[in-house]
A = this chain, B = another copy of it.
Amino acid sequence: MKSKIDYTLYLCTDRKLMTTNTIEECVELAVIGGCTVVQLREKECSSLEFYNLALRVKEITDRYKVPLIINDRIDIALAVDAAGVHVGQSDLPPAVVRKIIGEDKILGVSASSLSEAVKAQEDGADYLGVGAMYSTATKTDAEIVTMEQLKEIRRAVDIPIVVIGGINKNTVCNFKGLGIDGLAVVSAVVAQKDISAASRELIKLFKDL
């Protein structure tokens, strides 16, 4: 059975933005700080390296009872029995992914427009990652979603929405009253000196919205 996920603080890993910690250390510190979901994203390594890393990260997320989501690679998600997968618009189509993973695993889909969001929900997405809300160093070519578009998407779909792209302690306040379910963060957590404190602060800011 798919359990209900708390999307409040959704951490996406990015090896390139980490300076002082390994991915495992970073994930553990973020989870200690209250991070509620972890998405592991690796684009450069071999399948075996991704698999071994995912096993090590899942050992941590399991210990803290936080769901682990694997980006793009459905096979890695199945191999480590992750809680779910997240696909972008250049990955396997959501409807195809749903057939492979079954009903019990979480399926997240990136959407940067109303039509992508509606299609993703129709195709079986459990939640949406909507963005990029702001231009970021992580994905320099990402399409920007306006606040007006975000509101339209929120009205059009009823699955949870996490916002992504330039989400940090200075931008969280802009999402007040928009009915979003969580913040997806990369550098606002992984590139910070105190990862746990950064996580705690973002959660507090979100809950105070």
Contacts and interface: CB of A to CB of B under 8 A. Distances in A.
A124 B61 CA distance: 30
A74 interface: yes
A49 to B, nearest CB: 8
A48 B96 CA distance: 11
Contact of A92 (B79, B96, B97, B100): B79
Taking residues whose C-beta sits less than 8 angstroms from the other chain, chain A's interface range is: 20 to 34
Contacts of A89: 48
Interface of A: 46-49, 51, 72-76, 78-79, 87, 89-93, 96-97, 100
9 contacts: A46-B90, A47-B87, A47-B92, A51-B96, A74-B74, A74-B78, A75-B75, A75-B92, A79-B92
Given A47-B72, A47-B92, 17 more contacts: A46-B90, A46-B91, A47-B73, A47-B87, A47-B91, A48-B89, A48-B90, A48-B91, A51-B93, A74-B74, A74-B75, A74-B78, A75-B75, A75-B78, A75-B92, A78-B100, A79-B97
